[in-house]
A and B are shown apart, each in its own frame.
Chain A
Amino acid sequence: MIEVHNLTKRYGDKVAVKDLTFTVRPGIVTGFLGPNGAGKSTTMRMIAGLDAPTEGTVSVNGGRYRDASAPMAQLGILLEARAVHTSRSAYNHLLALAQTNGIPSRRVAEVIDLVGLSEVAKKRVGGFSLGMGQRLGVASALLGDPQTVILDEPVNGLDPEGILWVRNLLKGLAAEGRTVFVSSHLMSEMALTAQRLIVVGRGQLIADTTVAEFVAQASGNVVVVRSPQSSELRELLVSPDVTVSAIAPGQIEVHGLSAEQIGDVAWENRLRIHELSTQQASLEEAFMELTRNAVEYHAHGVTPSHSADDRPVTSGDPR
Chain B
Amino acid sequence: MTAAATHSADIRPAFPGMKVTQARVIKSEWTKFRSLRSTKIILLVSIILTIGVSALICAVTASHWTRLEPGDRASFNAVASSLNGILISQLAVGVLGVLLISGEYATGMIRASLTAAPKRLPVLWGKIAVFAGVVGTASIVSTFVSFFLGQALLTGHNLRVGISSPGALRMVIAAGVYLLLVGIIGMALGCLLRNTAAGISSLVALFFVIPPILGLLPKSWSDKIGPYLPANAGEAFWGHPEGSHLSPWVGLAVLCAWTAVAVALAAVRLTRYDA
A144 surroundings in chain B (CB, below 8 A): 13-15, 18
| Also in contact, A88 and B18, with CB within 8 A (given A68-B118, A77-B115) | no
Of the candidates A70, A77, A85, A95, the one whose C-beta lies within 8 Å of that of B104 is A85
Q: How far is the CA of A319 from the CA of B3 in the complex (A)?
A: 13
Name the residue of chain A whose CB is nearest to the CB of B38. A87
A26 surroundings in chain B (CB, below 8 A): 1, 6
Q: List 6 A-B contacts (CB under 8 A).
A: A1-B6, A66-B118, A69-B20, A96-B28, A102-B17, A179-B6
Name the residue of chain B whose CB is nearest to the CB of A27. B1
Of the candidates A61, A83, A104, the one whose C-beta lies within 8 Å of that of B109 is A83
A255 surroundings in chain B (CB, below 8 A): none
B6 adjacent to A88 (CB under 8 Å): no
A145 surroundings in chain B (CB, below 8 A): 13-15
B275 adjacent to A50 (CB under 8 Å): yes
- Shortest C-beta distance, B63 to chain A (Å), equals 43
B111 adjacent to A70 (CB under 8 Å): no
A50 surroundings in chain B (CB, below 8 A): 111, 114-115, 274-275
Q: Which 3 A-B pairs have the closest CB atoms?
A: A145-B14, A63-B8, A62-B7
Interface size on A, residues (CB 8 A): 53
B119 surroundings in chain A (CB, below 8 A): 66
B107 adjacent to A96 (CB under 8 Å): no
Is the C-beta of A279 less than 8 angstroms from some C-beta in chain B? no
| Also in contact, A88 and B19, with CB within 8 A (given A72-B116, A82-B108) | no
- Shortest C-beta distance, A176 to chain B (Å), equals 11
| Also in contact, A63 and B108, with CB within 8 A (given A25-B1, A71-B118) | no
Would you give the 0/1 interface string for B29-51, flagging 1 where the beta carbon is closer than 8 Å to chain A? 10110011110000000000000
- Shortest C-beta distance, A113 to chain B (Å), equals 16
Would you give the 0/1 interface string for A125-161, flagging 1 where the beta carbon is closer than 8 Å to chain B? 0000000000000001000110100000000000000
Question: From DSSP, what is the main secondary structure of chain A's interface residues?
Answer: loop
Q: How far is the CA of A17 from the CA of B29 in the complex (A)?
A: 34
B28 surroundings in chain A (CB, below 8 A): 96-97, 99-100
Name the residue of chain A whose CB is nearest to the CB of B5. A26
Is the C-beta of A120 less than 8 angstroms from some C-beta in chain B? no
A99 adjacent to B1 (CB under 8 Å): no
- Shortest C-beta distance, B130 to chain A (Å), equals 11
B8 adjacent to A61 (CB under 8 Å): yes
Q: How far is the CA of A284 from the CA of B14 in the complex (A)?
A: 39
Of the candidates A49, A85, A101, the one whose C-beta lies within 8 Å of that of B36 is A85
Is the C-beta of A285 less than 8 angstroms from some C-beta in chain B? no
A100 surroundings in chain B (CB, below 8 A): 20, 24-25, 28, 113, 116-117
Of the candidates A45, A49, A101, the one whose C-beta lies within 8 Å of that of B18 is A101
Q: How far is the CA of A60 from the CA of B11 in the complex (A)?
A: 11
Q: How far is the CA of A75 from the CA of B116 in the complex (A)?
A: 9
| Also in contact, A96 and B35, with CB within 8 A (given A49-B118, A85-B103) | yes
- Shortest C-beta distance, B133 to chain A (Å), equals 16
| Also in contact, A102 and B18, with CB within 8 A (given A26-B6, A60-B8) | yes
B116 adjacent to A61 (CB under 8 Å): no
A101 adjacent to B11 (CB under 8 Å): no
Is the C-beta of A86 less than 8 angstroms from some C-beta in chain B? yes
| Also in contact, A81 and B108, with CB within 8 A (given A71-B116, A144-B18) | yes
Of the candidates A60, A71, A104, the one whose C-beta lies within 8 Å of that of B20 is A71
- Shortest C-beta distance, B173 to chain A (Å), equals 32
Is the C-beta of A103 less than 8 angstroms from some C-beta in chain B? yes
B15 surroundings in chain A (CB, below 8 A): 73, 102-104, 107, 144-145
Name the residue of chain B whose CB is nearest to the CB of A77. B115
The interface centre, meaning the residue of A25, A26, A51, A85 with most chain B CB atoms within 10 A of its CB, is A85
Would you give the 0/1 interface string for B94-129, flagging 1 where the beta carbon is closer than 8 Å to chain A? 000000000110011111111111110000000000
Is the C-beta of B216 less than 8 angstroms from some C-beta in chain A? no
- Shortest C-beta distance, A264 to chain B (Å), equals 45
A75 surroundings in chain B (CB, below 8 A): 115
Is the C-beta of B27 less than 8 angstroms from some C-beta in chain A? yes
Is the C-beta of A84 less than 8 angstroms from some C-beta in chain B? yes
- Shortest C-beta distance, B273 to chain A (Å), equals 8
A103 surroundings in chain B (CB, below 8 A): 15, 18
B6 adjacent to A61 (CB under 8 Å): yes
A52 adjacent to B18 (CB under 8 Å): no
Of the candidates A63, A79, A104, the one whose C-beta lies within 8 Å of that of B111 is A79
Is the C-beta of A89 less than 8 angstroms from some C-beta in chain B? yes
- Shortest C-beta distance, B121 to chain A (Å), equals 11
Is the C-beta of B9 less than 8 angstroms from some C-beta in chain A? yes
Name the residue of chain B whose CB is nearest to the CB of A60. B8
A99 adjacent to B115 (CB under 8 Å): no
The interface centre, meaning the residue of A51, A62, A79, A144 with most chain B CB atoms within 10 A of its CB, is A62
A102 adjacent to B7 (CB under 8 Å): no
